[in-house]
Amino acid sequence: MIAGSLGSLGNCSGEDPDSPFSIYQIHESIFLPNNTLVTLCKSQQSGKVGPTLASNAHSLTHSSSKAQEKPSSSLQAMPLPPSSSSQRSPTKMLERVLSSRRYAPYADESAAENDAVADESKTKKHLPISFFTTRITNYLTRTGPVWPCLLVLAFVLLLIFSLIFNSRRFVCVSPYDPVSRTGFFGFDGLESDFGSLGVPWCKSKHGKAVEWTTKDLIKGLEMFVPIYETRPIKNNMYGMGFDHSFGLWFIAQWLKPDLMIESGAFKGHSTWVLRQAMPDTPIITLTPKHPGKFLKKGPAYVDGNCTYFTGKDFVDFGNVDWGKVMKKHGITDLSRVLIFFDDHQNELKRVKQALKAGFRHIIFEDNYDTGTGDHYSLRQICDQSYIRGGGHSCFKDSDEARIRSKRKKFWEKAVDIEELCGAGEAWWGVRGNMHDNFTKSSKKISYSEHFQNSRFVESILDVYWEVPPVAGPSLTHQTRYDPARAVIPIVEDGRYGLFNRLGLTRLDTSVFNGYTQMVYLEISKQ
């Protein structure tokens, strides 16, 4: 509202219908946004108010500054020249003015529509940040101590929904890299840790895979846990732990062979596992020392339906006349025979011997990773640069070297670059060596020989399958094998509910420390 000098822009004149000789005074002046001046004139005689419009009001700034210097009363005493506009339509003009004041900031509706978008964008663009912070502060001030309680409630709800939808529990986790190994709020760092350093997987001729699935393995675990709790050898130190015991039992039960052969029995635990899988199937055991000899010092297992080649009768697997043995047991289809090796011999040698005899289904218990173990394993043979997850760099400042050095501090079987690489940057096998017979025999091999060994295995292989760990380390509390070089477990980290339902919580944690990548092979038909 501008008073004072606006009198020079708008005039009040005309006759009062009730008092034709009355004098008008400026009652109120309004300057509209389209530079139109509206002056409300009041009759001194009757008190009626009527409008008059004054356009061409272009010197608003100048006039308003003068209005601050002169008192508004001087305008009210100013004589008003006659004006015919207010006389002709005072009521219509008044409605227009009042309408303008109440609603639209523009006297002309079309002008308002044309400038709406531009004005709105300017308003949004130039809103200061303090506008929003002030409003938030005012709101929090009004709510008082309620808003901190709301924040706490929101956090609690987020926590509950995270646990429900991601099935995560508070679990004990290995100290390696707490950030990446967190299983909280649905971030599967524990799961993603598996295989992060690569898992070399032997290629098969036709890309054939095993018939069973993870669901089959979980169902098998549910059946096997109660069986395992009845094992005669509770503390099978230096023998198979739970992971490999389950793997052997599951494969034997799935294949349902007509004859099972094991090379290396120790106290007889593996014989007991095979018997639980196939109660009526005959077993042939080749082992230097009869398991019964261990009964004098502690628990052992001797099977009544097993043919033992032990002591003076011991014969190495490669020297057995298998044609004669098969005929004695009435076996005509060698694809119905399952071979289990736990004798710590060169696995390439054993594959060639089994192939020569005509056997097709083989399990190796100790499938040692590159740089570890006392014999040349399938895992070592298939660790090649052209295979996904295979090959290594001996460069000490490489990413692999830094990661291995870090993991070595937390996993007993982890291998750093210093241990992995031998003279001439030889990383294959064990520092360029092909071990055999509990490391009693060892031979240096070139990378070219190592490469040819891999190509040979691929040429006769139909299936290569490593038994996965039963559960993640946060559940089993194992500290030996490095998950970065292992496949994803059957029961993943964080799935405590499943781990508990399967009965695995009833087992001592020490039984989960013997995982060494047990592998099943199916040799192609020759």
Instruction: Please report the pLDDT score of residue 216 as a whole number.
Output: 97
Binned at pLDDT 50, 70 and 90, residue 127 comes out as low
Instruction: Tell me which of 188 and 428 has the higher pLDDT.
Output: 428
pLDDT of 3 strictly over 60: no
Instruction: Tell me which of 500 and 145 has the higher pLDDT.
Output: 500
Q: What is the mean pLDDT of residues 310-315?
A: 94
Provide the 3-class DSSP secondary structure of residue 435. strand
pLDDT of 348 strictly over 80: yes
Residue 407, domain member (yes or no): no
Provide the 3-class DSSP secondary structure of residue 393. coil
Instruction: Please report the pLDDT score of residue 164 as a whole number.
Output: 58
Lowest mean pLDDT among 10-14, 161-165, 333-337, 452-456: 10-14
Residue 47: phi, psi to the nearest 5? 80, 5
Instruction: Please report the pLDDT score of residue 207 as a whole number.
Output: 84
Instruction: Please report the pLDDT score of residue 48 as a whole number.
Output: 52
Instruction: Please report the pLDDT score of residue 71 as a whole number.
Output: 41
Domain around 512: 214-387+446-523
Q: What is the pTM of this model?
A: 0.66
Binned at pLDDT 50, 70 and 90, residue 190 comes out as very low
Residue 420, domain member (yes or no): no
DSSP 144-182: TTHHHHHHHHHHHHHHHHHHHHH--------SS-TTTT-
Instruction: Tell me which of 185 and 366 has the higher pLDDT.
Output: 366
pLDDT of 115 strictly over 50: no
Instruction: Please report the pLDDT score of residue 389 as a whole number.
Output: 85
CATH of the domain at 261: 3.40.50.150
Q: Is 192 left (phi over 0), alpha (psi -120 to 50) or beta?
A: alpha
Q: What is the mean pLDDT of residues 402-412?
A: 91
Binned at pLDDT 50, 70 and 90, residue 192 comes out as low
Cα separation, 37 vs 2, whole angstroms: 10
Instruction: Please report the pLDDT score of residue 155 as a whole number.
Output: 82
Binned at pLDDT 50, 70 and 90, residue 304 comes out as very high
Instruction: Tell me which of 187 and 273 has the higher pLDDT.
Output: 273
Counting beta carbons within 10 angstroms of the beta carbon of residue 51, is it exposed (0 to 12), middle (13 to 18) or buried (19 or more)?
buried
Work out the angle at residue 282's Cα, subtended by the Cα atoms of residues 280 and 287, and round it to the nearest 5 degrees. 135
Q: How far is CA 283 from CA 93, 206, 248, 266, 333, in A?
A: 114, 31, 14, 15, 16
Work out the angle at residue 175's Cα, subtended by the Cα atoms of residues 173 and 179, and round it to the nearest 5 degrees. 85
Binned at pLDDT 50, 70 and 90, residue 89 comes out as very low
Residue 28, domain member (yes or no): no
Residue 455, domain member (yes or no): yes
Residue 127, domain member (yes or no): no
Instruction: Please report the pLDDT score of residue 12 as a whole number.
Output: 52
Lowest mean pLDDT among 56-70, 254-268, 308-322, 482-496: 56-70
User: Do residues 267 and 288 make contact, with C-beta atoms less than 8 angstroms apart?
Assistant: no
What integer best gives the mean pLDDT of the chain?
Answer: 78
Residue 310, domain member (yes or no): yes
Binned at pLDDT 50, 70 and 90, residue 27 comes out as low
Instruction: Please report the pLDDT score of residue 33 as a whole number.
Output: 52
Instruction: Please report the pLDDT score of residue 90 as a whole number.
Output: 44
Q: What is the pLDDT of residues 350-402, one digit of tens each?
A: 999 999 999 999 999 999 999 999 999 999 999 999 888 899 999 999 999 99
Cα separation, 200 vs 384, whole angstroms: 7
pLDDT of 107 strictly over 90: no
Instruction: Please report the pLDDT score of residue 144 as a whole number.
Output: 62
Instruction: Please report the pLDDT score of residue 378 as a whole number.
Output: 97
Q: How many domains does the chain have?
A: 1
Residue 287, domain member (yes or no): yes
pLDDT of 311 strictly over 80: yes
